[in-house]
Structure 1
Amino acid sequence: NTLKATAEEVAASLCAEGWTQLDPPAGLGAAAGRRAIPARPPPAGCFWLDPHVPALLVLPPLTELHQHALVASHALILQDKASCLAPAALQPRAGEAVIDCCAAPGNKTTQLAALSGGGGLVIACERDARRAGVLRRRAADAAGASVRVVQTDFMAVDPRAPPYADVTAVQLDPTCSGSGMVERASYQLGGAEEEEGGAGGGGAKLHAIAATQLELLTHALSFPAARVVVYSTCSIHPIENELVVAAALRAPSVRAAGWRLAPALPAW
């Protein structure tokens, strides 16, 4: 969390405790057309800085840091790399207004605030009261005034009303089937994490989920000042991913606004 400490400061603190910082393996996650090596975790007692996501430290599986001082101070936030990719793709600019449409529990929200340098505003929407409370506490601890939590259904937000009319970057990570979340027992870093999404379900349920996702994405594309929208899920099903995006781009209002598909994380 670069709102609390730089990646270099956190790395130096870990090294002072006996950790060893390594360079990431050459070719790790190379872009299409270049030879990539299989992703392997660092060996025990070692870490490296991720080559794709800013200020992301990669540690060995089963590393237990929940009671660590860096975690307690929110300088270090424990999060899967997959959850970090959407904010990295959005690339919020310093000082701009960002909206996180389905924000709880808030890891992506605080990452957005950190990536924007804390000088802008991240509006975090969550319709569920309990989850909004979790989000509000997490945002206050990790990002302070950089995040404004709004307990509301994102579909009820008027994109042309303040403060939403000034939003220039939109992150949408809606409820999904969670089909891409493999059994995590051997990879968990510790206590249970309340992930975004995870509705589960079969064929009929998938179509219902996808219909809601399409409504949300079409709404996300209606913000008048928005320059970029990132849509992400924890699903491996095309019906929740590529097909939702394709359908949204065919919507007359979206076509009229001139939205087009852009490469996300081209260095991946």
Structure 2
Amino acid sequence: MRNIKIVVQYDGTRYSGWQSQEHDENTIQGKLTAVLSRLLGEKIELAGSGRTDAGVHALGQVANFKTRSQMPCGELLEKLNHYLPEDIGVISAEEVDGRFHSRLNAVRKTYSYHIWNSPVHNVFDRRYTWAIDQPLDVPAMRRAAAELTGIHDYKAFSSIKRGKKSTVRTIEAIEIEQTGADITLSFTGNGFLYHMVRILTGTLVEVGLHRKTPEDMAMILESLDREQAGVMAPGQGLFLVRVEY
């Protein structure tokens, strides 16, 4: 059996997220699996580096699958991009070690979140940004972001209800860049909990609107209480940028 690694980009606007779901075939994983199974003439089980929610996009999602087919990776790449919908593209395809797993072997992920901070509508990028018309205090957001980096229990910043798995993660960096009305938040860490990046973003926006302070971040982390953190940012501004191994 060959083990094939693919890197995928997609516009998640019209999909129900990455992961295939019962009674809902409109997922990125579902579309890729269906095309791969037809091309290779066998049932394919596709593993992704992680889930992305409905409406969330990716510049560098990583996935892998096992196959008996001897189709060269170059030919597979060409055929995938021919048969996939225009909002899903495969950047690369390569054969990797049989033990490689896109999720279990990932050591670092980077997400970006895009905000349009202006009362004037961003007509052309409205599907890829969170439009906020009130001015944001970006320096305050940066101070809050510094309080949220490091090794912490991020349970307060997750939609996880219950579970035995650890909610401790390491966030190496949260960077906030502003160019005019365009504000981009970048999150790099060893892993992220369910809805974690979107809740972190929503909390930082509340700091930017002076509804919370940078000093509140330590209290929110220590509370382990989702109710203490901010709103969850909408999905359309979030991008999975890259996965590292």
The verdict on a shared fold, with TM-score over 0.5 as the criterion, is no
TM-score (norm 2): 0.26
Structure with higher strand content: 2
Name which structure has the greater RCO, CA cutoff 8 Å, separation 6+. 2
